[in-house]
Structure 1
């Protein structure tokens, strides 16, 4: 019997379209893996066992099955996006346990393309922090169960890295796709503003938060983005060379980048040089006030999302985050700091097509109940791990995480690619080139 666990979405969909596999057998195999392994990983808040099998059977009866780009592909969905018939808890005891009346637009598009939702994945409360833990449990990195899977799309990343689903849907407001993707050895793309539907929370964190894919291959990430955008995927290989800048330092003063992550970026630069691209060291002109701007927008976005929720049911770190955000809210709404950041970076991207950096500054924190600790301790740990992601949420420009190499523990390492508006295709093409020259392990060895 053919096993579909560990196969890409592209492979699974082709097999279902060609009737080499049925949606039920593919979905059932992934549900069985969830049942066997998720007690160790903690990726899912809710598993839709009976509903997913019923959806798989309904899919098999569709007359257009042979045309569906995601035919029969199991999909995990981050628990801050509506899935019809399921409560959306957003990692909190303060949110209502009321089933959603309709799918979020992103979920609807993936389902229309043939994907089957196998479950909703764990998030930190209100998707605030860079570790995924809270009232619904702790999500662990499948490659190293002593470490957090990252956050806030940590449950989605862990599900894919563990082979419980070939693809997952998440979102990114200050690195929430790229942080767990880097920790768990996955490909993700945070698209630029307006490229994919957002509609996350109470206002997309002032337009900084974007939905995107978590996948084990660039082809799967590209396919998901095409489905989410409502376009045909482009499989044409990149032609010509790109001017790539390499920066190894943190955008935030005083936050060092550990040696394995610097080495990964240097080695990835070497791969791209051999691929024929123009690569040189160059430092983006990050402003000194970048950390303050990020802090203000990050906390203010949470203050909006916390409106109407009972503070007594929120964890201490979330209450503090929202209280800080309320102080910043008026200033953030009137702020021109993000426009100034874009203007400051535009000349840099006039000279360079793409920026290559480490994806993280250090490995993810230990898998512990960080939600029981103070806001300051969480903020310091998160900032030390992931200072390289916020600039691209503040600008609203695209950025992605690409697996590259390993940490001394054997867990995956990763690099970040970022670019100006409209560079999503270039980012995916460069990632595909890296994948072809330095392929990575796709599924954690949990069995």
Structure 2
């Protein structure tokens, strides 16, 4: 039987503009699904049903459908503030602080006409590649309730995959959009550095963090990205921008819908963590890579297997220093440190033990690494890698006591994502494969500022593989 959430976000927008469904009807449909289904997924930490209905009614009364996402429901990741709504950031330390102002990305999406249904789960301060925290239950991939949705945008991804919202904004400081996208069977796009208002649990140290879309289709991802980086919401000056944003006439949605172009694409299964930890690739990951290469060649792209190697240098040590330094600013002191989870407390204390020389050296080393990666990839329009090295991990799999081992496990699970943040490049995870009912994604990394190329390639693969037709049991 047909239901409204079976439509893509783009199709829902068309229905809203034609008057085939009201904003209130669409909002009520998703709120009913959240109430009925989310207990099995754990994607929401706060549901703001009354605020959502009031917002929907106001949009219906105004009747102006010009906003680019007019009437479409979504949910805010619980690392960003929405005025009047608690922000937990996955931590007991936050104590459910009620925000007095909204984050820039929230204002941008409100301006675009969206309806927020609430806040989605995140690990403590968005620091981990999985979504579990002491303030609530684990967030599962809708494809298997025993397996984790990944992190740190795990709640946002699980909500989209389960049909609780049509799409959702996430944030990515080391893989936090692409990791859960792969684990939940979604398209997840990390834009170039500076493309959208910065948001993350690690602030902007090193310019790692950027907001981006999680969606079921490439077109929906482009549609949401257009709104997230709208000129009205962009900061007047972004220190970490690698390229100026396109003109207002440019549309990522249009690039995704057209899906045009033939490109030169290299592949690699090497990672910058290979010399630091024991990195092993699951057979399902290798199968996803082979399948993608086959379809890329069939479309007409020039595919060069093992065409590049991801530079290693001293990456593992340098990135770990930066990650610890970013965590050191979390405002926990004295007894409040006991409110933090072991992995967070370890990062905080390790970060505070660093010297200024340690941090300055790491930043200088990673700046050089950024140039090395961009140079190594410069001969190709895109580079294909796995998104993750392993299938989704069981809830509770990560070491809850030994924080250093926990960090190692995260790097073994997701060794291909963080270096892209360091380089400031755009990257997209695409749900190309499925093994034993579980989605498996691959990652395409683009040139600076060329999200349009990634969306075009993604659209071509989507037409052939039709991943938008795969759904979890809750669908």
Using structure 2 for the length normalisation, give the TM-score.
Answer: 0.89
Q: 1:255 aligns with which of 260, 265, 279?
A: 279
Counterpart check, 1:45 vs 2:48: no
Counterpart check, 1:210 vs 2:210: yes
2:446 paired residue number: 419
Q: Which runs of 5+ in 1 are unaligned?
A: none
Counterpart secondary structure, 1:286: coil
Displacement of 1:318 in angstroms is 1.0
Matches within 5 A, 1:237-386: 237-253=258-274, 254-281=278-305, 282-306=307-331, 310-328=336-354, 330=356, 331-334=358-361, 335-368=363-396, 370=398, 372-386=400-414
Counterpart secondary structure, 1:188: strand
Q: Which runs of 5+ in 2 are unaligned?
A: 231-247
Counterpart secondary structure, 2:128: coil
Matches within 5 A, 1:161-172: 161-172=161-172
Displacement of 1:233 in angstroms is 2.1
1:15 paired residue number: 15
Displacement of 1:417 in angstroms is 0.4
Displacement of 1:63 in angstroms is 4.0
Displacement of 1:374 in angstroms is 2.6
Q: Distance in 2 between matches of 1:17 and 1:308?
A: 51
1:437 paired residue number: 464
Counterpart check, 1:397 vs 2:422: no
Q: Distance in 1 between matches of 2:88 and 2:397?
A: 18
Matches within 5 A, 1:64-213: 64-65=64-65, 67-134=66-133, 135-201=135-201, 203-213=203-213
Say if 2:78 and 2:89, in contact at 8 Å, map to a contact too: yes
Displacement of 1:22 in angstroms is 0.5
Say if 2:172 and 2:200, in contact at 8 Å, map to a contact too: no
Displacement of 1:312 in angstroms is 2.2
Mark the CA change 1:12 to 1:308 in structure 2 (over 3 Å): closer, same or farther: farther
Say if 2:328 and 2:352, in contact at 8 Å, map to a contact too: yes
Mark the CA change 1:27 to 1:262 in structure 2 (over 3 Å): closer, same or farther: same
Say if 2:400 and 2:406, in contact at 8 Å, map to a contact too: no
Using structure 1 for the length normalisation, give the TM-score.
Answer: 0.95
Say if 1:208 and 1:393, in contact at 8 Å, map to a contact too: yes
